[in-house]
C-alpha cells in the first residue's frame, strides 16, 4: 500500500498569510477586524495577530459580502447580524458552485 502524505493544517496563521489567501493588504484585514465583531484573531505576547481556521472563515464571509457581492461595510454588518446562518449557507453554495464550474471547465479543456 503506498504511503499517503498526511495533510498538515496549521493551527494559527499570521495576518500576512491571511491577507495573501484573499489577495488583500494586511491593513484591510486590520480594518475589517475593527469594523466586524465576528473577526477576532488571537494575539500573542508581542501583539501579533494569529488567525485560527474559524477566524479565517469569518474573514472569508466578510470578503464574500464586501468584495465578491459588492456590499457596503454597513450592509455587510447588518446582513451578518440579522441573518448570519443564511449568509453562511449562501456563501457555501456559491463556493460549491464555483468548484463545480472549475471542474467542468477542466473537463471541457481535456476534451
> What is the model's pLDDT at position 23?
92
- Kindly report, residue by residue over 35-94, the tens digit of the pLDDT: 998 899 999 889 899 999 889 989 988 998 899 889 999 998 888 888 777 777 887 888
pLDDT for 33 equals: 92
**Domains in the chain, CATH or no CATH each:** 13-110 (1.10.1660.10)
What pLDDT is attached to residue 4?
57
Q: Report in angstroms the alpha-carbon separations of 88 from 58, 74, 83, 95.
A: 9, 17, 9, 11
Contact 24, 30 (CB under 8 A): no
Amino acid at each position: 500500500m503506498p504511503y499517503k502524505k498526511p495533510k498538515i493544517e496549521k493551527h494559527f496563521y499570521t495576518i500576512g498569510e491571511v491577507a495573501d489567501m484573499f489577495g488583500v493588504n494586511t491593513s484591510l484585514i486590520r480594518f475589517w477586524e475593527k469594523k466586524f465583531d465576528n473577526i477576532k484573531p488571537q494575539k500573542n505576547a508581542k501583539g501579533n495577530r494569529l488567525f485560527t481556521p474559524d477566524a479565517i472563515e469569518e474573514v472569508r464571509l466578510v470578503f464574500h459580502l464586501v468584495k465578491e457581492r459588492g456590499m457596503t461595510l454597513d450592509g455587510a454588518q447588518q446582513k451578518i447580524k440579522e441573518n448570519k446562518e443564511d449568509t453562511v449557507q449562501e456563501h457555501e453554495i456559491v463556493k460549491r458552485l464555483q468548484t463545480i464550474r472549475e471542474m467542468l471547465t477542466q473537463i471541457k479543456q481535456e476534451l
